[in-house]
Amino acid sequence: MRGPWLLLALAGSLGCVPLAGGAAPRAPAQPTRVDVAATPAPTPASASPTVTLESLRVEMPSGSERFRIDDDPDRALVASVYSLPSPWIDAGEARSLLAAVREADPHREVLVLADEPMAQELAPLAADGGVRLLPTRGVAYSPWPRDPFSFARASHRAVRVVVRPNLQRGRETDATMGPELVRGLPPELDRAWGGVRWAKSAVPFHNGQVLLTRDAAWVSLHTFEPRILELLGVARVPVESFDTAAGIDAYLAANAKAADELGALYGRPVRFVHPLPAVTTGAMPGTAQEARAALLRRLAGGAGYDLDSLLTLVPAARDGSASALVADVAAGERLLAGLDAPQWNALSTAYRFEANGVAAGLAAAAASPRGRALASYLDLVADHLRSEGFTVSRLPLVVVPAAVLRDPGSIPDEYFFLTWNNVVVERRGAVLRAEGFASLLAAGDDLARRTFAAAGAHLDLLPPLLGSVTRNGGYRCASNHLRAAD
């Protein structure tokens, strides 16, 4: 099978670094179970030897009790967490980002997991108390704290860190990122947050694939792919079975079970950002089965991408409906077509593009079979969310192939995105605002600000961490946030 079916088969391990496409894709990773408490974490001499990760662990509550994961955009940001490993992140870019966050919100706590070289570089920012540096104790974490854990609140509002049990291959060390955050908190902050503890979820999750609102957890079919494979007992998406009604029904049944599990974890009903094939209730005409298979093929165009890089949900302002800002490949092409020579030069310099053939290379990526499949999928999402009552607007999505880079081997995949969707939204008092990385493409940044303003939100664009962006880690991937409790 080729085309979109192949994309669906390769969805594999979803994270802030999506899978590469192309003629020779890597083998999909299987869900990895990690026993966090058993993972060794070296303790420096300056730390108390009695404070272990296990001593800070609590169990996930059962029955009517539960932890509430409140990462919805109706709540204000109380604290922001960043992971800034020196081998991946430029220290100057890190300083610029943190200074901009402090300027945007001087009252927010800013916590940074930093190895020793990065901690030395950031020491001046920490000296005035504006940034709190937390040790990594020799563990090499990724720069994406969104993936490994979620902030939650216990019934008495104390902060809990819920750790993900399933990590993608190559990032297993991130299993201790959440617990290490808990262990490294300054005592006064731990007290203010009610005595912070961590717990390991029994339910797999990946925050880049879930967009929370007050009333729902919005997901795609690809959100549940690792869990679906686990439930079906297979190593890859069984696309060969989708030619039969029974094969599609089995996949949809596993998807429904996974959705119920995730809904229990987030304490909200799960809703899909796109239509799903109908489940059969008996004999099905051939045309109906063909329509179900066709819909799955179209949905396959979204395989391998984080949902938060493609979609932003903005809550309703005082008078209006909620907005859905959906990425648009064609809008990205139009944006590039309108650039003048200075803008092309600025873009090429920022991302180290080859001097020749950049425009043609970017256009070819958008027009490739994978680019067209993604564009069709995004159009489907936009139409579906419009039918769900959202006011839908589109944001450009620029697909940058590795081939246009001066050093194609400098990134792990065959492309990265310039996207204005990978942002964090908050309601602060009566004001809706969003923050994300600037793209270093002025025309795109200006268009994004206007689009967010039309949705009732002010967009602050912060200095980017290019070592994250070129590995498909936008701002939402590169940050995790504790929000205000009710």
Question: 138: domain CATH number?
Answer: 3.75.10.10
SS3 484: coil
Q: Supply the pLDDT for residue 35.
A: 40
DSSP-assigned states of every residue in 33-67: E--TTTS-----TTS-TT--TGGGB-PPP-TT---
- Whose CA is closest to 20, among 226, 397, 305, 220? 305
In the beta sheet, which residues pair with residue 394? Answer: 326
> For 439-480, how does the pLDDT look when each residue is reduced to its tens digit (9 = 90+)?
999 999 999 999 999 999 999 999 999 999 999 999 999 999
- Whose CA is closest to 325, among 472, 183, 471, 436? 436
One domain, residues 459 and 316: yes
One domain, residues 333 and 439: yes
pLDDT at 30 over 60: no
Q: Supply the pLDDT for residue 283.
A: 63
- Whose CA is closest to 314, among 447, 451, 222? 451
Mean pLDDT, rounded, for 375-385: 98
One domain, residues 336 and 419: yes
Q: Does residue 364 sit within a domain?
A: yes
Give the range of the structural domain holding residue 153, as residue numbers without chain letter: 61-200
Contact yes or no for 33/272 (Cβ under 8 A): no
pLDDT band at 110 (very low <50, low <70, confident <90, very high): very high
Neighbours of 346 (CB within 10 A): 14
Q: Supply the pLDDT for residue 28.
A: 31
Q: Supply the pLDDT for residue 231.
A: 94
Contact yes or no for 46/75 (Cβ under 8 A): no
Q: Does residue 36 sit within a domain?
A: no
d(C-alpha 125, C-alpha 467), whole Å: 21
Mean pLDDT, rounded, for 336-344: 93
Q: Does residue 50 sit within a domain?
A: no
Q: For 162, phi and psi rounded to 5 degrees?
A: -95, 120
One domain, residues 193 and 218: no
More confident call, 319 vs 374: 374
From residue 12, alpha-carbon distances to 28, 30, 228, 296, 461 in Å are 4, 7, 11, 16, 31
Last residue of a domain, one of 153, 168, 200: 200
The rounded mean pLDDT for the chain is 88
- Whose CA is closest to 362, among 382, 342, 344? 344
Contact yes or no for 362/398 (Cβ under 8 A): yes
Last residue of a domain, one of 250, 276, 302: 302
Q: Does residue 367 sit within a domain?
A: yes
Q: Does residue 219 sit within a domain?
A: yes
pLDDT band at 44 (very low <50, low <70, confident <90, very high): very low
pLDDT band at 356 (very low <50, low <70, confident <90, very high): confident
| DSSP designation for 353 | B
Q: Supply the pLDDT for residue 64.
A: 67
pLDDT band at 33 (very low <50, low <70, confident <90, very high): very low
pLDDT at 284 over 80: no
Q: Supply the pLDDT for residue 24.
A: 26
Q: How many domains does the chain have?
A: 3
From residue 447, alpha-carbon distances to 34, 307, 385, 394, 397 in Å are 42, 21, 22, 10, 12
Give the largest Cα separation in the chain, rounded: 70
395 burial class (0-12, 13-18, 19+ CB within 10 angstroms)? buried
> Per residue in 225-240, is it b (16+ CB within 10 Å) or e — as a string?
bbbbbbbeeeeebbbe
One domain, residues 277 and 222: yes
